Amino acid sequence: MNRFVIAEPKLCIGCYTCEAACVDVHQEVGLQAHPRLVVTQTAQGTMPVQCRHCEDAPCAKVCPVGAITEADGMIQLNESTCIGCKMCALACPFGAIEPHGSSPLSQQMPYEPYVESAGAIIGEPLAPSAISAPLSSLLDWSAGVRTVAVKCDLCYFREDGPKCIQVCPTKALRIVDSESLSASISAKRRQTVAKTSQVLSGASAAENE
Amino acid sequence: MTTVKTVCPYCGTGCNMYVHTGSAHIAKVTPDLEHPVSQGELCLKGYYGFNHVADRRRLTTPLRRQGNDFIPISWDSALDEVAGKFSAVRRDHGPDAFALFASARCTNEDNYVAQKFARAVMGTNNVDHCARLCHSSTVSGLAQAFGSGAMTNSIPEIGEVSDLIFIIGSNTAEQHPLIARHVIRAQQRGAKLVVADPRQTEMAEKADLWIRVPPGHNIPLVNGMLHVVIKEGLHDKEFIDAHSVGFDDVVHAVESFSPEAVERMSGIPAGQIVHAARMYAGARASVILFAMGITQFSHGVGNVASLANLAVVTGQIGRPGAGVCPLRGQGNVQGACDLGALPNVYPAYQSVTDPALRAHYESAWGVTLPAKVGLKITEVPAAIDRGEVRTLMIFGENPLMSDPDLGALRKEIQKLDFLVVMDLFMTETARFANIVLPAACWAEKDGTYTNTERRVQRGRAVVPAPGEARLDWAVFSALAARMGYAGMNYGGAQEIWDEVRRVVPKTFGGISYARLDKLPGLSWPCPSEDHPGTPILHKDGHFTMASGKAQLTPVLFDPNVLPDAKTKGFTHAITAHVVEHADTAYPFILTTGRRVYNYHTGTMTRKSPLLEQLAPEERIELNPADAKELGVADGDFIKLSTRRGKSIARAWVTERVAPKNVFSTFHYWEANCNELTNAQSLDPICGIPEYKVSAAKVEKSSAAEAKSWRDWIQGEYRVAVERATNAVLAGRVQK
Ligand code: SF4
Ligand code: SF4
């Protein structure tokens, strides 16, 4: 079974730490600097939404260039082969895939991205900082990034697993794999037996009265 | 790679963290697993908000303004000029022509030295800081009720002990995420949560009962709860008799606040008031958490006093998990207050008007001190206008973003004869300064910070300060020396702290650096080295008032001005109303606040590419019903205006705000809610402005109009900021 990360809306306080961490770790390894989970605040509740790594993934089915594949118990998206056709984003029933890269010229941006003006001050490099692995932090954050689909990759490149789970201060995020899923299913089955027998024995007791 | 443990520079939760440096810069931040408050967690500002430290726009040399340009100068000539001007203003116009804005971002040591400079060297009590704008109503209101204006309990108690949490006017999840975590822990234990807030915040969503309070209507809610408590006999008679005075007046005052009357006045459903009162009074240990949604009103002190009444009348105070907890915003706003960066008190809240207390400080500092209470921050603009304040020094504060009615303030600040700003960056405020001084930041200094639960903690230098940037306290010492005062010659932060311990032994005597190095902080009061600190104040009802008893104060309210007839028969009641109401010209109510990804005026957080990416611009919250009426879709530009000014930003169409309410922040100079807020609606007791209620107009706008507005406001100060930064960088290149 494919593993996936899911949030518990009762615990999520909408603090966005998971989103920030997601951008950070992906940027560090040279992947798209864009959050793969999106904290979504509604009147009904708040939680980050991310890929469910479906067993029969519709995104993989519609990808014309085979950039999305199932391997190692997850749905992987190869950012290098992706042509940015956005079909996967249409197909995903959860809104877990988002195209990301340069914005089209026609998009109205009355506010210059802050870093642009910083970069424009004089052409000296930004202070070295461990978070910018790519060559130029200017390219990294604003113009010039090829638009591709981005989605949760379970931080496959990190030994300690998804970073979002680690940083969430309320531990609202957890990984669901076949073990934890079957444990929860069998626990619920036991509860069902207990509840059913309670109901039935209650009913028979009433009958006997 | 080196690793140093220090305190997060952002909110008053005071999480501890390890800062890891590679070469000369901060590489990453990791949480402290052992800290009792943060317990191995941080929020995104703690983890990712450090880029400003190594940002190349940091100020690295003193600057002098010439016309619209800034010229790099040496420290010697900067200090000579500043000391010269300060001496001149003191001589020609008297000490009270000088004012100092201290900083809740700086250490206890910085603030102690700064206020000592104002009082002992300049000879004025005109020293204040941004607590005036956030919790001055708490400091006044709780001090008058309990004898101490600080949080009564410790944060971990919320998670471990409290079984009812009443959050009123605090967006805890966004502003104190790691305190919200303790609330979630409490809920997991089975504790109940009641939230009163005009907006459906994250905490409101998680509440067992959420009461949507129209902005400015907290007093009718709390008085209504008191009415129910008393009528249903849920009050704690024994506690009231033994530990308080003034109960009868309160009974009398809340008589007219029946749930039905409150519903008629505010629209809050009567049933919710009854429910909230029963839950709060009935729980074993109830704790109140509050913040700007209580304090930032023309009746802020009234709000705080009514909460104090509620806690005392129900006996929900002075026990583990039961108390009244103001959540302080800035990392060291508690400390800046404690150390006397306030115009009416010396360190440890010793009144400047009390001759005995003044004599104590006179002998400690070896000077004669002024007896007159100084000016509050919010009184300074008018005093500048009248020509009374002519010289102003500001460090670690950016009032030209954070104070109300910026349009007016931009004009007033230019009437000063001389303005000195000491900061990390060329800020919107520094742009108007005559002399700009480069300061060392949190990661470059040793010292102590006091978090919202009065926990004094040790901050440590991690990296060297850039260029010629100096420690704030060292600059005051240098100025004092030039002005002929010898009592401020310190060898380091610890020496300053040891002086504080000697001067106010009852509060800080037992909090030594040696102990702080071993412990996760110590909560004041802590009088001796063997004292464990005081996590819970007013234990068992022994209030820190002279009488030992809590003072209950009747609080009267009418949305419009209170008719005289209603106040008859009360000798010392607080009367409250809301200054601005929606009308036909301005049919909306604007309420203001902050968001999780940014910190205040953004000088620090907006230097983090990561945070800036998540939240690049202001989004004004607008209810879907209003959006429909205005023909505005989510993400469209809207123009917000009040009688003071305007701002244009994208709309966030969301049910989080009630119909006819809008919400905006002061993080972005491009669209700052403080262009719109009211600087005239001050609380008569503490001088806090009514940030939370302004009558506003909302119109559909366009990207083009947004751009032209932004260009205008950029012309007002931002262009100069960028140009000045260029001068700084160019100066550095030339050297
Ligand atoms: S880090 Fe956790 S609490 Fe914060 S937004 Fe993400 S899931 Fe929610
Ligand atoms: S698992 Fe990794 S990629 Fe997926 S959401 Fe979490 S941090 Fe992002």
pLDDT score at B378: 92
Contact A15 B174 (CB under 8 A): yes
Specify whether the CB–CB gap between B478 and B79 falls below 8 A.
yes
Could A13 and B637 be called an inter-chain contact, meaning their C-beta atoms sit closer than 8 Å? no
Pairing, β B209-211 against β A148-150: unpaired
On average, the pLDDT of chain B sits at: 92
Q: Does domain B77-129+341-523 have CATH number 3.40.50.740?
A: yes
Q: Nearest bound ligand to CA A173?
A: 1
Band (pLDDT 50/70/90 cuts) for residue B726 is: low
* pLDDT of the residue at A144: 53
CB B380 within 8 A of CB B413: no
B25 pLDDT tier (thresholds 50, 70, 90): confident
User: Under 8 Å CB-to-CB from B127, ≥6 apart: which residues?
Assistant: B99, B100, B101, B102, B114, B115, B118, B119, B340, B341, B342, B343, B374
Does residue A102 sit at the B interface (CB-CB below 8 Å)?
Answer: no
Q: Which of A8, A170, A174 to mutate to test the pocket of ligand 1 (most atoms within 8 A of CB)?
A: A170
Listed in sequence order, the residues at least 6 apart from B498 whose beta carbon sits closer than 8 Å to its beta carbon are: B512
- pLDDT tens for B544-584 read 888 999 999 999 998 887 767 677 778 788 888 899 999 99
**Whole-angstrom distance, CA of residue B208 vs CA of residue B193:** 5
Cβ atoms of residues B347 and B339 within 8 Å = yes
Contacts of B25 in chain A (CB under 8 A): 127-130
Calculate mean pLDDT across residues B709-732. 66
User: Exposure of B513 by Cβ count < 10 A (0-12 exposed, 13-18 middle, 19+ buried)?
Assistant: middle
Taking residues B133-143, report their average pLDDT.
92
**A39 chain-B contacts, CB cut-off 8 A:** none
Phi, psi of B517 (to 5 degrees): -70, -25
The answer, yes or no, to whether any atom of ligand 1 lies below 6 A from the CB of A17, is: yes
Q: CB-CB: which of B56, B670, B722 is closest to A127?
A: B56
ipTM: 0.90
For residue B704 the two structure tokens come to: 């083009």
Q: For residue B1, what pLDDT band results from cuts at 50, 70 and 90?
A: confident
By three-state DSSP, how is residue B366 classified?
A: coil
User: Looking at the predicted structure, is the pLDDT value of residue B417 above 70?
Assistant: yes
Q: Is B531 exposed, middle or buried (0-12, 13-18, 19+ CB in 10 A)?
A: middle
B16-25 contacts: CB < 8 A, separation 24 or more?
A: B16/B457, B16/B520, B17/B42, B17/B46, B19/B50, B19/B443, B19/B462, B21/B462, B21/B463, B22/A130, B23/A128, B24/B54, B24/B463, B24/B464, B25/A127, B25/A128, B25/A129, B25/A130, B25/B53, B25/B54, B25/B463
**Which ligand is nearest the CA of B206, by number?**
1
CA distance B369 to chain A (A): 46
Mean pLDDT of B226-249: 94
**Would you say residue B47 has pLDDT above 60?**
yes
CATH 2.20.25.90 domain locations along chain B = 2-54
- Model confidence over B368-414: pLDDT tens digits? 999 999 999 999 999 999 999 999 999 999 999 999 999 999 999 99
Contact B173 A45 (CB under 8 A): no
Lowest average pLDDT, out of A32-36, B84-88, B281-285, B519-523, goes to: A32-36
- The second-level CATH assignment, the architecture, of B2-54 is Single Sheet (2.20)
Go through B295-314 and write b for each residue having 16 or more CB atoms within 10 A of its CB, e for each that does not.
bbbbbbbbbbbbbbbbbbbb
Token pair recorded at residue B317 = 């105070």
Q: What is the pLDDT of residue A116?
A: 32
CATH classification code of B588-734:
2.40.40.20
Q: Kindly tell me if the per-residue pLDDT of B488 is higher than 90.
A: yes
Query: Distance (Å, rounded) from C-alpha B726 to C-alpha B56?
Result: 11
Using a 6 Å cutoff on CB, does residue A50 contact ligand 2?
Answer: yes
The interface residues of chain A toward chain B in range 159-188, judged by CB-CB distance below 8 A, are 167, 169-170
Backbone torsions φ then ψ of B265, nearest 5 degrees: -75, -35
Q: Which two tokens stand for residue B683?
A: 């609380």
| Residue ID of nearest Cα to ligand 2 atom 3 | A152
* B359 within 8 A of B371, measured Cβ to Cβ: no
For chain B, what percent of residues have pLDDT higher than 70?
A: 97
Q: In angstroms, rounded to a whole number, what is the distance separating the alpha carbons of residues B453 and A84?
A: 51
- Measured CA to CA, the distance from residue B349 to residue B334 in angstroms comes to 12
Verify cis geometry, omega within 30 degrees of 0, for the bond prior to B525. yes
By CA distance, what is B51's nearest residue in A?
A129
CA of A19 to the centre of ligand 1 (A): 8
Low pLDDT (below 50) residues in chain A: 107-143
B55-59, B235-239, B318-322, B519-523, range with the lowest pLDDT: B55-59
Domain B136-328+550-575 sits in CATH at: 3.40.228.10
**Mean pLDDT calculated for residue range B123-141:** 93
Gap from B184 CA to chain A (nearest CA, Å): 7
Least confident among A95-104, B127-136, B253-262? A95-104
Is A41 in contact with B707 (Cβ distance < 8 A)? no
Helix or strand holding residue A20 (H, E): helix A17-28
What's the distance, Cα to Cα, between the start and end of chain B in Å? Answer: 30
Distances (CA, A) of B54 to A128, A155, B26, B440, B484: 8, 28, 8, 11, 36
Q: Which of B181, B638, B725 has the most A C-beta neighbours within 10 Å, making it the best mutation to test the interface with A?
A: B181
Work out the percent of chain B whose per-residue pLDDT is above 90.
81
Q: Give the per-residue pLDDT at B240.
A: 95
Q: How far apart are CA B473 and CA B493, in angstroms?
A: 8
Q: Among A140, A104, A124, which Cα is nearest to A28's?
A: A140
Residue A32 burial class via C-beta count within 10 angstroms: exposed 0-12, middle 13-18, buried 19 and up: buried
Residues of chain B with CATH 3.40.228.10: 136-328+550-575
